[in-house]
Amino acid sequence: MDAKIRKTVLYIEDVRIEGGRAVPRPYRAVVAAAIIENPWAGRGFVEDLRPGINSVAPQLGLLLAPMILGVADAGAIEAYGKAAVVGTSGEVEHASAMIHTLRFGNVLRESAEGVSFLPFTNKRAAPGCSIDVPMKHKTAEGTRSHFLTVSLVVPDAPGPDEIVVALAAATSGRPHARIGDRYEDMKEMGVDQTGAKLNVPA
C-alpha cells in the first residue's frame, strides 16, 4: 500500500527577538507535514490497522525527516516531536496509527542522534485547525527549556477523508529560558526520578 500524498508543507520560523530582547542564537523551529488520504476511510470499522501502519508510516518518516534535515542540520537539532490530525470522517485511532510506530519516528530520532521518545498530539478536526506539535530535548527529557510547541495551520487540511502527519524539530530551547529543570526541582524536594525520598540530612 502506497501513501497517497496530496501535498506536503514545510514550515520554518526563526525567532530573533523574544521578550523585547535579542536572541543570541536565533531559535529555529521546523515542521514538515504530509497531507495524505486516510487509508482506512470508507471501509467501516477496520479491526487490524497493522498492515496500513507497516506500509504507510515508514514512507512518511522517510519523506518528512529529510525535509526537516534540509533546513536544520542534524547536528544542530536539540528537540523534536510529532503530531497527526485525522479528518472528520476518520477515527482518532487512524491519526495515532500513523505516528505511534518506530517505523515513523526513528528516521528523525536516529538522524538527530536522539534517545528520547518524540512527544505527540493526535486528534480529529476540520480543515484549518491549529496543528500543535509538542517537542522536548532529544536526550535529556527533564530539560524544561526544551519543552516546546510549534503550531501551524493548513487552510485546506485535513479534508474529511485525510490525515495530516507532521514531524517537528528545533535547534535550541526557548529563547531566554530561565525556569530551571525538572532535575533541580527533584533535588530540592529530596526525591529521585521515581518520586522516592532521598536520604538527605534533615
Percent of the chain at pLDDT exceeding 70 = 95
Domains and CATH numbers, the chain: 5-177 (3.30.1330.110)
* pLDDT at site 201: 47
* pLDDT at site 108: 97
Residue 193 binned pLDDT confidence (cut-offs 50, 70, 90): low
pLDDT > 50? residue 133: yes
pLDDT in tens, 95-121: 999 999 999 999 999 999 999 999 999
Determine phi and psi for 173, rounding to 5 degrees: -85, -170
**Model pTM score:** 0.90
First to last CA, the chain: 63
**Residue 191 carries which DSSP code?**
B
pLDDT > 80? residue 197: no
Task: Encode burial over 118-128: b for 16+ CB neighbours within 10 A, e otherwise.
Answer: bbbbbebbebe
* CA–CA distance, 86 with 127 (Å, rounded to integer): 10
